[in-house]
């Protein structure tokens, strides 16, 4: 019942760790791997000794089906299903190829050695567990993996049983981390090429691709919650994804040999071409047999993602084209000439330190400044006029009425009015204050009007919005200080 | 099973309706009320006729408990529980008092009449249903309200049965709307007094208090989802809220009579004082008997809310004090004097139309302009320098390196550097472009860097951020247009 919660907690922990910039290569990751290998190898040895000493396992919980009675198609389906299940065992070898640049030199030689070791361990561990599971008659049992069933029979409920469980748990949680080392990096490359939102290519404070990490975690949590952390519903999603990437890389190598030729290129092209063919067949098999176990997500999502990526690329290309200027064009441009007529409007809610600061700044950037106030009625208009008159300034104050204290509409109306006399080529700067808050929750209390007004005004290409920061003092300090009484 | 979904859909519909500005007073709201009254009155008449004609209802599903065996405390608890349940029947009369200003003149006379009518209908409908429920031996039955049980016995599964059901459903959905007429308005008053975030006092496009409406809906949906739309878990929350407001209004009237005196003030004060006392007792009773059915939320939430509101008020007061200037102070201020030294920095990603536009604007607001570029390496630095040299301008270009294309850090470092020679009293304006997008999803693709840089820069009180809008053309138009090829 807590599976979903536990999974989400693990994802959140991994997210935080990766945002802070942990590395997959860090040595801490080695220990659990050794522990896991040690646990499984011990189990295999103990298991075979137990079998030799004449142990007879209990009846299998699932009865053996009389396969002779099955039709040819059903048989084929079962075989293909078993094949696609088995294929999942070799996923992970791509991690070695991906990591080649990270190996010590000579990288290729080391990588080959690792690949061999990996293959040896897969055969030893996976093969050994397969043999044992047959010998111990482990079958499908609700809520109990084959590993648990075997370990239970071999070790009882002793400390070794819990060691096998714990090391499997840790290694699986860590396996989830491989996605964090690859996906955000991949996404950043895609984003840099213009096929994904550009912010995905930006590194965060600690140089991790924080947006990609957050996106990955959000997707993972969504899948966990929607599918209630049920592995069966998602195994297809995983397997098909892996084999699509195998197919793509094999095809890539195949094309490479065809293009580059080189020594033994026919043989090499044949090997990779055959690899591409086999993995492509696996993709199709998984797409069919595991369609309802998550493969449908990939079948539908991949075309949609490709479509979206094309749209994004098209948009970025269009933007770049609009902004681009040829060298010939650049030479004709004189930045000093054709400048805009520079006019400033300072919205003034009341005459206080913030508005005086804004007026002062306005004066430094232009001689054409207007202070602009929206009052709800005649009375408050008179009040602000009186207060404003106390200031020594030649900046005129314009007061407009709005019963609901709307600011944007009266301001835009004023700009378009004959009174303001807007001319083509005028650039209007509107100065808005921004409170720099001292406590995070103060952010809820400020700047919303500013953001709204800014958003509305920026829809007009002749209006520049200048945001002036205003630092707030500590509440208690102000309220105790005599100066502010 | 779909209760939660149906409830959420109703809330969403009400939200959309209220955001668009439907009014409770609209005539459309009258029809369902009449239909409901008609349905219940018909049921009462048919029910009594059926009883007169000798109908004997089936055995009650719940057996009668031998009350003699109950202890005094248990008995008291049951009585109080029944009392607090019954009190829920008179909630709603406050809607009439709240709406007094909306009545046709003479408002008070009309309101009194409505109140009388309301009382009559409550007695008729609620009393009638109570009597029938006893006569028809309706009791607690899972998933079947008393109304359903009675209607089923009286009408069978005929059209009248469905009419009773349908009109009850509609009237209940509409009852949910009363919150929308009161809560956002109340919140706006609280916000205007400075006890809640100010944006709650702002009217949206259609003059509805959109933030308050959204807040209310979010809270309602949260309660529905958390309590799985289970009425029993929330009846206490509702009842205690209503009776707290009764107590407050009665106490208010009591205090008013004590202060203002006037004709018969002793009698009136006694009536309201007694009312306050009785309703306060009800509050305590509900808080105890319904504690686990939602009353706990109010018991804990109200003190927390009051605490938060005090904090908010304190903050707004502190801000107002900081900004306030006395008339004597205002007179000493000469906006024309003590102006800032005005310096402008234009971050330039590449030399294109956007950056040229920004440089041009910079030139109009200051003579002290610097173009600032962050390059990832020497090569791209040379490239941008070459391109920039083509322009005819005396604005110097400063290039800094950052392998990860960070902008904020190099910029702030440059401002603090001896090279830039920042003096106290300088006001630096940084000009950033803002793309005005044409499609909503384009917003995902732009302006994130701008917002991030703006947020970081505004932490410094001597930096003003000027946002320059840049209107994008339609993608297809640009890509097809020869000029942009």
Residues A382, A281 within the same domain: no
Residue B116 lies inside a defined structural domain of this protein: yes
Q: How many Å apart are CA B418 and CA A370, to the nearest integer? A: 36
Residues B260, B373 within the same domain: no
Residues 351-380 of A with CB under 8 A from B: 351-354, 356, 359-361, 363-366
State ipTM: 0.73
Q: Which of B194, B205, B330 should we substitute to test contact with A (largest number of A Cβ atoms within 10 Å)?
A: B330
Q: State how far residue A155 is from chain B, nearest Cα, in angstroms.
A: 44
Whether pLDDT at B304 is above 70: yes
Residues A166, A19 within the same domain: yes
Residues B281, B359 within the same domain: no
Residues A352, A225 within the same domain: no
Whether pLDDT at B369 is above 80: yes
Asked whether the beta carbons of residue A464 and residue B467 sit closer than 8 angstroms, the reply is: yes
Q: State how far residue A299 is from chain B, nearest Cα, in angstroms.
A: 24
A464: closest chain B residue by CA: B468
Question: How confident is the model over B72-108, as pLDDT tens digits?
Answer: 777 777 777 777 667 666 766 766 776 676 677 787 8
Sequence-ordered list of residues with C-beta below 8 angstroms from that of B47, at least 6 positions apart, any chain: B132, B135, B136, B150, B154
Query: How many C-beta atoms surround the C-beta of residue B65 within 10 A?
Result: 9
Residues B198, B77 within the same domain: yes
- CA torsion sign, B329 to B332 to B336 to B340? negative
Q: Which domain holds residue A295?
A: 3-311
Q: How many Å apart are CA A116 and CA B353, to the nearest integer? A: 56
Q: H/E/C letters for each residue in B141-174?
A: ECCECHHHHHHHHHHCCCHHHHHHHHHHHHHHHH
Domain end position, chosen among B271, B294, B311: B311
Token pair, residue A445, equals 């209390």
Q: State how far residue B260 is from chain A, nearest Cα, in angstroms.
A: 30
B304 close contact with A: CB closer than 8 A: no
Which residues of B fall within a CB distance of 8 Å from A340?
360-361, 364
**Helical spans, DSSP H, in A66-156:** 72-87, 93-98, 107-121, 127-135, 146-155
Q: State how far residue A444 is from chain B, nearest Cα, in angstroms.
A: 7
Query: Which residue is associated with the tokens 């200031």?
Result: A391
B249, B271 contact by CB (below 8 A) = no
Asked whether the beta carbons of residue B393 and residue A335 sit closer than 8 angstroms, the reply is: yes
Whether pLDDT at B197 is above 80: yes
Q: How many Å apart are CA B176 and CA B330, to the nearest integer? A: 51
Q: How many Å apart are CA A443 and CA A466, to the nearest integer? A: 19
CATH of the domain at B385: 3.40.50.620
Residue B319 lies inside a defined structural domain of this protein: no
Asked whether the beta carbons of residue B459 and residue A468 sit closer than 8 angstroms, the reply is: no
Residue B108 lies inside a defined structural domain of this protein: yes
State the total domains in chain B.
2
Residues B261, B371 within the same domain: no
Phi, psi of B393 (to 5 degrees): -160, 155
A464 close contact with B: CB closer than 8 A: yes
Residues A241, A294 within the same domain: yes
Question: How confident is the model over B222-262, as pLDDT tens digits?
Answer: 888 877 777 777 777 877 887 888 889 889 989 988 888 87
Q: State how far residue B86 is from chain A, nearest Cα, in angstroms.
A: 40
Residue B325 lies inside a defined structural domain of this protein: no
**Helical spans, DSSP H, in B290-399:** 295-323, 327-331, 353-365, 378-389
Residues A441, A299 within the same domain: no
Q: Which helix (H) or strand (E) holds A474?
A: none
Token pair, residue A434, equals 């921004």
Residues A236, A143 within the same domain: yes
Residues B471, B395 within the same domain: yes
Which residues of B fall within a CB distance of 8 Å from A185?
none
Q: Which helix (H) or strand (E) holds A6?
A: helix A3-19
Q: How many Å apart are CA A362 and CA A345, to the nearest integer? A: 8
A326 close contact with B: CB closer than 8 A: no
pLDDT at residue B8, rounded to an integer: 85
Q: How many Å apart are CA B241 and CA B279, to the nearest integer? A: 11
A443 close contact with B: CB closer than 8 A: no
Residue A319 lies inside a defined structural domain of this protein: no
Sequence-ordered list of residues with C-beta below 8 angstroms from that of B15, at least 6 positions apart, any chain: B180, B213, B214, B217
Question: How confident is the model over A182-226, as pLDDT tens digits?
Answer: 788 888 889 888 898 888 887 766 667 888 888 999 988 888 887
**Percent of chain B topping pLDDT 70:** 89
Sequence-ordered list of residues with C-beta below 8 angstroms from that of A333, at least 6 positions apart, any chain: A325, B356, B391, B392
Q: How many Å apart are CA A446 and CA A475, to the nearest integer? A: 14
Whether pLDDT at B366 is above 60: yes
Asked whether the beta carbons of residue A338 and residue B360 sit closer than 8 angstroms, the reply is: yes
Asked whether the beta carbons of residue B197 and residue A448 sit closer than 8 angstroms, the reply is: yes
Pairing of strands B463-471, A463-471: antiparallel
Q: In terms of Cα–Cα distance, which of B361, B353, B358, B392 is closest to B372?
A: B358
Residue A325 lies inside a defined structural domain of this protein: no
B214 close contact with A: CB closer than 8 A: no
Q: How confident is the model at residue A75 (pLDDT cuts 50, 70, 90)?
A: confident
Residue B397 lies inside a defined structural domain of this protein: yes
Residue A28 lies inside a defined structural domain of this protein: yes
R_g of chain B, CA atoms, integer Å: 34
Angle at B378 between CA B377 and CA B380, to 5 degrees: 70
Sequence-ordered list of residues with C-beta below 8 angstroms from that of B254, at least 6 positions apart, any chain: B269, B272, B273, B275, B276
Residues A73-90: what's their mean pLDDT?
71
Sequence-ordered list of residues with C-beta below 8 angstroms from that of B51, at least 6 positions apart, any chain: B135
Question: How confident is the model over A2-43, as pLDDT tens digits?
Answer: 777 888 888 888 888 888 765 545 566 678 888 888 999 999
Residues B263-285: what's their mean pLDDT?
87
Q: Which helix (H) or strand (E) holds A35?
A: helix A30-52
- For A15, the 3-state DSSP assignment is helix
Whether pLDDT at A397 is above 90: yes
- Closest by Cβ to A317, choosing from B359, B470, B479: B479
Q: How many Å apart are CA B408 and CA B43, to the nearest integer? A: 73
Residues A281, A359 within the same domain: no
Domain end position, chosen among A296, A311, A326: A311
Question: What burial class does residue B307 get, using C-beta atoms within 10 Å of its C-beta: 0-12 exposed, 13-18 middle, 19+ buried?
Answer: exposed
pLDDT at residue B70, rounded to an integer: 62
Question: How confident is the model over A360-373, as pLDDT tens digits?
Answer: 999 888 888 999 99
Residues B284-310: what's their mean pLDDT?
86
Q: How many Å apart are CA B286 and CA B245, to the nearest integer? A: 14
């Amino acid at each position: 019942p807590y599976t979903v919660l536990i999974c989400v907690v693990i994802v959140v922990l991994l997210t935080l760790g990766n945002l802070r910039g942990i590395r997959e290569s860090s040595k801490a990751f080695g220990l659990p791997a050794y522990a896991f290998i040690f646990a499984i190898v011990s189990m295999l040895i103990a298991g075979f000794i137990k079998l030799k000493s004449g142990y007879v396992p209990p009846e299998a919980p699932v009865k053996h089906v009389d396969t002779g009675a099955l039709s040819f198609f059903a048989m084929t389906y079962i075989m293909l299903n078993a094949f696609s299940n088995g294929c999942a065992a070799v996923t992970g070898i791509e991690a070695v190829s991906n990591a080649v640049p990270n190996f010590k030199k000579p990288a290729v030689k080391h990588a080959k050695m690792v690949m061999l070791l990996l293959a040896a361990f897969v055969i030893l561990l996976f093969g050994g567990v397969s043999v044992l599971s047959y010998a111990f008659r482990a079958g499908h049992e609700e809520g109990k993996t084959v590993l648990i069933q075997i370990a239970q029979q071999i070790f009882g409920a002793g400390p070794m049983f819990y060691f096998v469980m714990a090391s499997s748990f840790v290694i699986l949680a860590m396996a989830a981390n491989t996605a964090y080392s690859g996906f955000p990096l991949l996404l950043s490359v895609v984003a840099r090429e213009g096929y994904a939102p550009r912010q995905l290519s930006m590194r965060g404070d600690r140089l991790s691709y924080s947006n990609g990490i957050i996106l990955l975690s959000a997707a993972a949590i969504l899948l966990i919650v929607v599918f209630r952390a049920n592995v069966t519903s998602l195994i297809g999603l995983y397997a098909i994804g892996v084999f699509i990437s195998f197919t793509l890389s094999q095809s890539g190598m195949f094309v490479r040999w065809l293009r580059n030729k080189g020594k033994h290129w026919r043989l090499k092209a044949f090997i990779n071409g055959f690899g591409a063919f086999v993995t492509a067949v696996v993709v199709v098999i998984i797409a069919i047999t595991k369609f309802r176990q998550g493969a449908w997500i990939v079948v539908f999502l991949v075309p949609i993602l490709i479509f979206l990526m094309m749209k994004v690329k098209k948009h970025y290309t269009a933007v770049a084209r609009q902004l681009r200027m040829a060298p010939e064009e650049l030479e004709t441009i004189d930045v000093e000439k054709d400048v805009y007529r520079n006019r400033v409007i300072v919205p003034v809610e009341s005459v206080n330190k913030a508005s005086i600061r804004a007026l002062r700044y306005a004066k430094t950037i232009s001689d054409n400044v207007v202070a602009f106030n929206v009052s709800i009625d005649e009375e408050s208009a008179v009040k602000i006029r009186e207060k404003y008159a106390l200031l020594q300034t030649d900046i005129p104050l314009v007061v407009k009425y709005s019963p609901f204290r709307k600011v944007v509409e009266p301001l835009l109306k004023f700009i378009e009015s004959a009174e303001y006399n807007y001319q083509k080529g005028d650039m209007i700067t509107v100065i808005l204050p921004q409170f720099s808050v001292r406590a995070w929750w103060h952010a809820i209390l400020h700047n919303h009007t500013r953001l709204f007004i800014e958003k509305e005004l920026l829809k007009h290409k002749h209006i520049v919005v200048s945001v002036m920061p205003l630092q707030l003092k500590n509440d208690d300090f102000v309220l105790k200080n005599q100066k502010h009484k």
